[in-house]
Amino acid sequence: MIMVPILILQIFLFPIAATAIMGAWSNSRMTIELQEISGHLGSSIQQLYYTMNHASISSGELTAKVDVPILITDGNQGYNYLITLTNATNSNGSVKVMNLTLSLIGAKGEASTLVTLGQNADWQNNSTLKSNSFSLLCATKTSSTISLSFQGGT
């Protein structure tokens, strides 16, 4: 009889503790994955830009398949994420810095990365797109600019 209230209490306490720890783990795991994706996307954008920026290419369009997951799961449920491209504050006029921010849709979690590009780089400032709305990175070079964009839905 003495242990009965304690045993009843543990029915609630142990799952609550487990849920709280699992929640923290899921958040951390998803944040790390977001950071990894943002870094990888930033790197892909930079490499695509520098490929097109080479003096041997006068104009044209180049696309690269984006190898990042569409969903980030917390173990049970998958979440899309939103990508936002903005112009980062930059005192150096000879470069443009893109701030690539990823935020989960329907869950907590955000990551960002800075991408240093040349002065001729161009992208739509404050543009947003969902992770399931693109599969390609595209760079279009004209005489004066290299436009960077995402293309192709899944």
Partner 1 sequence: MKTGNATMDHLISLVIFIAALLIFIGLFSQSISTAIVYQSHEALSTKTSDLLDNILLNPGINATWGTDGSTPSGFGLQDPEFTQYQISSFSLMRLDSSTGSVTEYDKTSPSIYYNQAASSLGSFLLTPIVQDLNYSTALSLLGISNTYGFQLTFTPDITVSINQTQASSPLNLEISTSGKGFPFANAAINYCLILVTLPQSDMQYPSYTIQNGAVTTDQQGIVNVAFPNVTDSNQVYAFIAYAHLAGVEGVGYYTHCTSTDQYVVPIVQDIGSQQTALAHSYDLNNSNPAPSSLKYNVTFVISKTDYTLSQLSLDSSSSTNIVGIVTSGVGNPYPVITLPSYTTGILIITYQQEDSMQGGVIMMPWGVRSLAFPVTFGGNPAGQNWVTTDIRQVTIDGIAYQAKLELWNQGSQVIG
DSSP string, 94-123: TEEEEEEEEEESSS--EEEEEEEEETTEE-
Cβ 87 vs Cβ 93: under 8 Å: no
Determine if 13 is a binding residue for partner 1 (CB under 8 A).
Answer: yes
Decide: residue 16, CB within 10 A, 0-12 exposed, 13-18 middle, 19+ buried.
exposed
Among 2, 106, 144, 154, binds partner 1 (CB under 8 A): 2
Q: Closer to partner 1 at the Cβ: 54 or 126? A: 54
Could you identify the residue written with the tokens 């293309």? 151
| Closest distance of CB 105 from partner 1, Å | 21
Stretch that binds partner 1, among 76-84, 112-120, 126-134, 135-143 (CB under 8 A): 112-120
Q: Does 36 bind partner 1 (CB under 8 A)?
A: yes
How many Cβ atoms from other residues are within 10 Å of residue 72's Cβ? 25
CB of 95 to partner 1, least distance (A): 4
Give the residue with the Cβ less far from partner 1, 43 or 77: 43
For position 71 contacting partner 1 by CB under 8 A, the verdict is no
The whole-angstrom separation of Cα 67 and Cα 101 is: 17
Kind plus residue range of the DSSP H or E element containing 137: strand 136-141
Least Å from the CB of residue 47 to partner 1: 6
Among 40, 82, 140, 149, binds partner 1 (CB under 8 A): 40
User: Is residue 60 a contact residue for partner 1 (CB under 8 A)?
Assistant: no
Cβ atoms 96, 143 nearer than 8 A: no
Q: Is residue 131 a contact residue for partner 1 (CB under 8 A)?
A: no
